[in-house]
């Protein structure tokens, strides 16, 4: 018997846009879920990532504008299907609710109350199928004084305290290079919440399920604040969480920080004494053993900085291979993917997926970073054009609906 992906047969109707919602359904689709996107019929008013350069697929003269697809859109939406629905029209709401009645999960990212005003919110979905789960990803949650406020990743991190805890103490807060609130505060909590709601609905041996869906409310600000797993309780008890590189609220210290080397930067994470000992032994500097907590401004801190400056990243990587001390070179994204591809050839987890495109080519997209001992991941397929699957008897691709396998 051919093994199937873990979430094979799960149906998800995705009415979200941009990053948090599509990233959540990207994870679920990689695990085998059947995801149908709800796209606005006018591509210009639809998901901006579709038309965000650089483009993997470019349009030709006279072709529909949405024949073009950006790399970001393909990475987030490959293997999903698309129906074009205008939720401002009664016929669009009717079609949306018809698909919702067939779905296990509906995911949306409108401002709170938007779907309700359109007649397509939680009450309407629950009425057409009490077993359907609705997951809403918003900046500030469905309730409270800021629920209707607009925002983006950087603002959610600011409100959550994450941005104010980032960067060096004497410099402005430093936004990270990835969208932490959108992904760690939005997409991942949504996936966890959806899977938990499915488990509660469907039950388990010895724990009968309710058979009912529920509304999963994900606040990107609150979920980002919850990332303070090490510092949060101490902060609420009145302790200060100093900005800097060290965990547990400390400022940058010698054993846990970034260092400039001769051609870039490296990181050292030798928190445990055994790793600090290995680092000092590799340097032949037993005089530094007593100073893992040295500040950058201390004589010992400046001495260690001068040592790092004498070698390249490659030389420090070779040092780390010989001396197990939690030292890593700081890579660019391109370098990171190249290194991960090389590691995958030696048995490490795959770094990329070869994803077909609508023009007959392929691109490499990030792999999900998880694998199973028995179950495969979903086979990559092209990202959809807007409304590409409107003409099918049903857009669902699940095995229980073979007509949709065209």
182 an active-site residue? yes
| Antiparallel, parallel or unpaired: β 327-329 and 352-356 | unpaired
Count of other CB atoms within 10 angstroms of residue 344: 14
- What is the set of domains in the chain, with CATH numbers? 11-227+349-405 (3.40.50.10540), 256-334 (3.30.1540.10)
Both tokens assigned to 42? 């006018």
Q: Going edge to edge, which strands form the sheet with 327-329?
A: 256-261, 264-269, 327-329
Q: What is the pLDDT along the chain (406 residues), one digit of tens a residue?
A: 789 999 999 999 999 999 999 999 999 999 999 999 999 998 877 888 988 899 998 876 655 566 789 999 999 999 999 999 999 999 999 999 999 999 999 999 999 999 999 999 999 999 999 999 999 999 999 999 999 999 999 999 999 999 998 887 778 998 889 999 999 999 999 999 999 999 999 999 999 999 999 999 999 999 999 999 988 898 899 988 777 656 655 568 999 999 999 999 999 999 999 999 999 999 999 999 999 999 999 999 999 999 999 999 999 999 999 999 999 999 999 999 999 999 999 999 999 999 999 999 999 999 999 999 999 999 999 999 999 999 998 999 864 455 444 4
Q: What is the model's pTM? A: 0.93
- At residue 404, the pLDDT reads 45
**Chain-centre distance for alpha carbon 33:** 17
| Residue 331 near residue 315, CB atoms below 8 Å | no
152 an active-site residue? yes
Write the DSSP string, 217-239: EEEHHHHHHTT-TTTHHHHHTT-
- At residue 406, the pLDDT reads 41
Closest CA to 133 of 104, 158, 162, 110: 104
Cis preceding-peptide flag for 390 (omega within 30 of 0) = no
Q: Which of 152, 215, 265, 323 is catalytic?
A: 152
Q: Which of 104, 182, 222, 231 is catalytic?
A: 182
Any idea which residue has 């199973």 for tokens? 372
- At residue 66, the pLDDT reads 61
| Residue 39 near residue 81, CB atoms below 8 Å | no
Q: What is the rounded CA–CA span in Å between residue 139 and residue 156?
A: 7
Helices (H), 33-105: 71-77, 90-102
């Amino acid at each position: 018997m051919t093994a199937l992906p873990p979430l094979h047969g799960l149906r998800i109707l995705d009415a979200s846009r941009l990053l948090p919602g599509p990233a959540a359904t990207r994870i679920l689709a990689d695990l085998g879920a059947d995801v149908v996107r709800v796209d606005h019929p006018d591509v210009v008013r639809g998901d901006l990532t579709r038309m965000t350069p650089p483009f993997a697929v470019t349009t030709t003269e006279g072709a529909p504008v949405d024949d073009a697809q950006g790399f970001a859109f393909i990475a987030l939406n490959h293997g999903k299907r698309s129906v074009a629905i205008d939720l401002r029209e009664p016929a669009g709401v009717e079609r949306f609710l018809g698909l919702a009645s067939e779905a296990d999960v509906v995911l949306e990212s409108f401002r709170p109350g938007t779907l309700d005003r359109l007649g397509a919110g939680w009450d309407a979905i629950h009425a057409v199928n009490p077993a359907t789960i609705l997951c809403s990803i918003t900046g500030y949650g469905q309730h409270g004084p800021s629920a209707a406020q607009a925002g983006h990743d950087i603002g959610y991190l600011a409100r959550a305290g994450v941005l104010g805890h980032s960067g060096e103490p004497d410099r402005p807060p430093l936004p990270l290079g990835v969208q932490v609130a959108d992904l760690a505060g939005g997409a991942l909590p949504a996936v966890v919440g959806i899977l938990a709601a499915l488990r509660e609905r469907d039950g388990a041996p010895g724990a009968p399920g309710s058979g009912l869906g529920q509304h999963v409310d994900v606040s990107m600000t609150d979920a980002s604040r919850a990332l303070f797993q090490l510092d949060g309780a101490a902060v609420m008890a009145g302790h200060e969480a100093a900005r800097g590189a060290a965990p547990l609220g400390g400022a940058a210290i010698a054993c846990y920080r970034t260092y400039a080397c001769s051609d870039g930067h490296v990181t050292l994470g030798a928190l445990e004494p055994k790793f600090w000992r290995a680092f000092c032994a590799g340097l032949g500097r037993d005089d530094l053993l007593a100073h893992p907590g040295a500040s950058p401004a201390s004589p010992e801190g400046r001495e260690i900085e001068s040592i790092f400056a004498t070698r390249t990243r490659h030389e420090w990587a070779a040092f780390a291979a010989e001396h197990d001390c939690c030292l890593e070179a700081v890579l660019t994204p391109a370098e990171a993917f190249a290194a991960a591809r090389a590691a995958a050839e030696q048995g490490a987890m795959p770094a990329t997926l070869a994803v077909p495109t609508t023009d007959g080519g392929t691109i490499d997209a990030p792999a999900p970073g998880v694998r199973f001992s028995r179950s495969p991941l979903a086979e990559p397929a092209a990202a959809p054009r807007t409304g590409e699957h409107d003409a099918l008897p049903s857009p669902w691709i699940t095995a229980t609906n073979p007509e949709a396998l065209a």
